[in-house]
Structure 1
Amino acid sequence: MKVLLLYFLFINFITFLLTGYDKFQARRHRRRIPEFILFLLAFVGGTIGLLTGMFFFRHKTAKITFIMKFSYIILVQIVVIYLKMTQKI
């Protein structure tokens, strides 16, 4: 259980940092972090890090397609957690 907690702390911290780095790069019109990478990190447990980074850095909050895809990831995670908690997985 301790390893799982450390994993989630690490993946969320990395996702948060990469969101900030992507915003930094966007302001300077330089090479950016692909959205796929941000979504992948969110999917494997970095949802809170990405959500926090979006609001903290005001990054991708106006991009509707990004928000829709991110919402889908959150929905999938909620369903998986629900099914796990009810022992159907």
Structure 2
Amino acid sequence: MAYSAARFPRAAFGGGALAGVVAAAGFGSLPILLAAGYLGLSAVSYLMYRADKAAARASRRRTPETSLHLVDMLGGWPGALVAQQQFRHKTAKQPFQTLFWLTVILNLAAAGWLVWP
């Protein structure tokens, strides 16, 4: 059986990333301010995905994908992963997912650059 992208354990990966951020900050490997940024932006991203899914169901005005990607690139991607799985939102739209994973890579590269001695 082929492993589909829609079955990727997004919530576990996002939750694990946040746990890693908290642990790294606790051990002094990651600045507290950066960890707080990941936690805060993840909460914002989660709420944005939840609101967008609700808007889609109610045929209301949607959150622009560029806004979702911006918050994800700034550090909200762990919360986005949790929301994508919980709300089954934006998981099958391949162009969105391609750009989403690019924002994750860019964010991790920037964070690595910031904390690398």
TM-score w.r.t. length of structure 2: 0.66
Aligned to 1:40: 70
Amino acid at match of 1:36: T
Which runs of 5 or more residues in structure 1 are unaligned?
none
Identity %: 31
SS of the residue 1:74 aligns to: helix
Which runs of 5 or more residues in structure 2 are unaligned?
1-30
Aligned to 2:84: 54
Residue 79 (structure 1) aligned with residue 77 (structure 2): no
Alpha-carbon offset, residue 85 of structure 1: 5.2
- Deviations 1:10-59 (Å, cap 9, x if unpaired)? 11111101101100000111101000110000011101011111111000
Task: State how many pairs are aligned.
Answer: 87
TM-score w.r.t. length of structure 1: 0.84
Q: Kindly report the root-mean-square deviation, in angstroms, between the aligned alpha carbons of the 2 structures.
A: 1.7
